[in-house]
Structure 1
Amino acid sequence: MSQRTWFITGVSSGFGRELTDQLLERGDRVVGTVRDTSKIAALSDRYPDSFFSEVLDVTDRDAVRRVVERSFAKHGRIDVVISNAGYGLFGAAEELSDQQIDQLIATNLTGSIQLIRAVIPHLRGQGGGRIIQISSYGGQVAFAGNSLYHATKWGIEGFVESVAQEVAAFGIGMTIVEPGGARTEFRYGSAQVATLTPLYDDTPAHAFLRMLDPKNGLAPGDPALMAARIIESVDVEPAPMRLVLGSQALESTIATLRKRIEAFEAQSELAASTDFPAGA
């Protein structure tokens, strides 16, 4: 297998770090973005000729464009772009602050959109490539206490599914990765929690507190195995539109979609009742 060059956002921890470690270990090159380079100093020291760090806040639209332009100019070709930067935000909708809402949307949704928009001209110009969007099975299902996180994931999945149809003719494949619960910093470190009120203590909106506490059982997903499956997906042709990782995530997604289809089918007569008469 020839050496590939990857561009990955958010490589200081979680899936971004795991992906980076595995890719460098197998001999690929990685351009990895972080907000704090001290967290990846060991990678720079160990792989001076194959790991290239860039400081980037994905909420800064102009910075996203500059880093993308500089990276393609420096490396000539980037084979795979992974939009990974993001975090979780927990709490009932009314408990979230305006600032928390704006920041989450800017990072998880708008940041990913702007990254993808920035790399498309370069991938098209080089004759193709892959874009991988790290989402969540929370882009297909919804749980109380996660409303804004779900909003960003459902939003980015719709965006990617649409753009994938736009760029396929240019040899650009796109994949949405939907991991289930994994033992990463996302779950046990970087997630933010709103200022909680006792009004929701005995409701599903605060059930997430048990999930975030490792004493109640660790997440089933192995981030190393999930990262390996993501890397392997790049060799699949055509690019899979979605990649669900974790048995629990797959089971929950299938059950949710079945219920949704059943609800839609129950409305078939209602839906048809709003059409003009045939031939009208």
Structure 2
Amino acid sequence: MKNWLITGISSGLGKVLAESVIQNGDFVIGTFRNQKQVTDFNAKYKNKAHSILLDITDEHNIEENVLNIIDKFGKIDVLVNNAGIGFVGAIEETSMAEVKEVFNANFFGTLKLTQAVLPYMRKEKSGNIVQISSHGGIKAFAGFGIYNASKFALEGFSEALAQEVAPLGIKVSIVEPGPFRTKFAGNGLGLAKNEITDYSETAGAFRTKLKSVDGKQEGDPVKAAEAIINLVNSENQTLRLPLGKVALMTIGMKLDSVKSDLEKNRNTAENAVYTQA
């Protein structure tokens, strides 16, 4: 039986994943930011799971809780960094306070929790770290730039981390869902307080579109949870796991765009080097 530490299990993919892992026979340590949710969860899943109060934007809270988990349960086999926030707004519309809020949740909190868990995984010479990113961690969209930036950053450190810990028996995977039927595009979506009319046809249109598809997205969270569990249990675990047809399409578009720019600028790139006299 594996011990899974999953952040942000109050709703969405985190909630469904926690339930699926429990049904699969593994043990879940889940995190909430509301004490009543902690109490209710622990009463419902006694001896099958345990939840804690954790704010991933609080560094000291992270270190203390990881130490308590190790003391109580002995090990963390799988860390799923799921907690995070969505945010829509044009780059110029977004205040630095809003940027910092997004990065504290989506990047710095995830980074700190990963760092806090790694010493114990290194001691065991095993473990799985699953980063819940997005197809928006590969391809950027007008109106989604700050969120994109936070997920690009998550993908960057995770790709490097995978190379660093592979010799130590630890695996890293980056999950890249497209639009799924969670609360991401509903009440859980942050919006820039400032709106500039010049961006109404770009960032503004994206904001409207994202709100309009809430509850109609193609992605099934139950199937996503099953895919993540299968990934963790696979002997041939991949670095990236796209989820959904939209994710396949948008990530494919990004790869095509990068390849096109690479070829168009090949001669320029090759000539920007020292040549022998």
Pair 1:215–1:106, CA change in 2 (3 A): closer
Q: Contact between 2:20 and 2:226, CA under 8 Å: does it hold in 1?
A: yes
Q: Contact between 1:210 and 1:216, CA under 8 Å: does it hold in 2?
A: no
Deviation at residue 214 of structure 1 after TM alignment: 4.0
Deviation at residue 189 of structure 1 after TM alignment: 2.1
SS for the counterpart of 1:78 is coil
SS for the counterpart of 1:177 is strand
Corresponding residue for residue 51 of structure 1: 49
CA distance in 2, matches of 1:201, 1:121: 46
CA distance in 1, matches of 2:126, 2:214: 45
Contiguous gaps of at least 5 residues in structure 2: none
Corresponding residue for residue 19 of structure 2: 21
CA distance in 1, matches of 2:196, 2:125: 56
Tell me the alpha carbon deviations over residues 118-155 of structure 1, each in whole angstroms, 9 at most, x when there is no partner. 11110010121100000000011010011110000001
Corresponding residue for residue 66 of structure 2: 68
SS for the counterpart of 1:95 is coil
| Range 191-200 or range 248-257, more displaced | 191-200
* 1:118-129 mapped onto 2 (5 Å cutoff): 118-129=116-127
TM-score, structure 2 normalization = 0.95
Q: Contact between 1:11 and 1:33, CA under 8 Å: does it hold in 2?
A: yes
Q: Contact between 2:89 and 2:207, CA under 8 Å: does it hold in 1?
A: no
Pair 1:217–1:132, CA change in 2 (3 A): closer
Corresponding residue for residue 241 of structure 1: 239
Corresponding residue for residue 178 of structure 2: 180
CA distance in 1, matches of 2:232, 2:105: 25
Corresponding residue for residue 140 of structure 2: 142
Q: Contact between 1:7 and 1:31, CA under 8 Å: does it hold in 2?
A: yes
| Range 70-79 or range 210-219, more displaced | 210-219
Corresponding residue for residue 39 of structure 1: 37
Q: Contact between 1:37 and 1:53, CA under 8 Å: does it hold in 2?
A: no
Residue 88 of structure 1 pairs with residue 86 of structure 2? yes
Q: Contact between 1:33 and 1:56, CA under 8 Å: does it hold in 2?
A: yes
| Range 32-41 or range 71-80, more displaced | 32-41
Contiguous gaps of at least 5 residues in structure 1: none
| Range 229-238 or range 213-222, more displaced | 213-222
Match of 2:100 among 99, 102, 110: 102
Deviation at residue 216 of structure 1 after TM alignment: 7.9
* 1:174-253 mapped onto 2 (5 Å cutoff): 174-200=172-198, 202-214=200-212, 218-253=216-251
CA distance in 2, matches of 1:134, 1:165: 18
Pair 1:109–1:126, CA change in 2 (3 A): same
Q: Contact between 2:103 and 2:150, CA under 8 Å: does it hold in 1?
A: yes
Pair 1:233–1:201, CA change in 2 (3 A): same
CA distance in 1, matches of 2:41, 2:214: 33
Q: Contact between 1:12 and 1:34, CA under 8 Å: does it hold in 2?
A: yes
Q: What amino acid does structure 1 have at the position aligned with 2:122? A: R
TM-score, structure 1 normalization = 0.94
Corresponding residue for residue 150 of structure 2: 152
- Give RMSD over aligned pairs: 1.6
Tell me the alpha carbon deviations over residues 155-180 of structure 1, each in whole angstroms, 9 at most, x when there is no partner. 11000000110011110000000000
Q: What amino acid does structure 1 have at the position aligned with 2:149? A: A
Corresponding residue for residue 267 of structure 2: 269
Residue 117 of structure 1 pairs with residue 115 of structure 2? yes
Q: Contact between 1:12 and 1:40, CA under 8 Å: does it hold in 2?
A: no
CA distance in 2, matches of 1:176, 1:230: 10
Q: Contact between 1:6 and 1:29, CA under 8 Å: does it hold in 2?
A: yes
Give the percent of matched residue pairs that are identical in Structure 1 and Structure 2: 36
| Range 131-140 or range 3-12, more displaced | 3-12
Deviation at residue 215 of structure 1 after TM alignment: 6.5
CA distance in 2, matches of 1:26, 1:271: 51
Deviation at residue 98 of structure 1 after TM alignment: 2.1
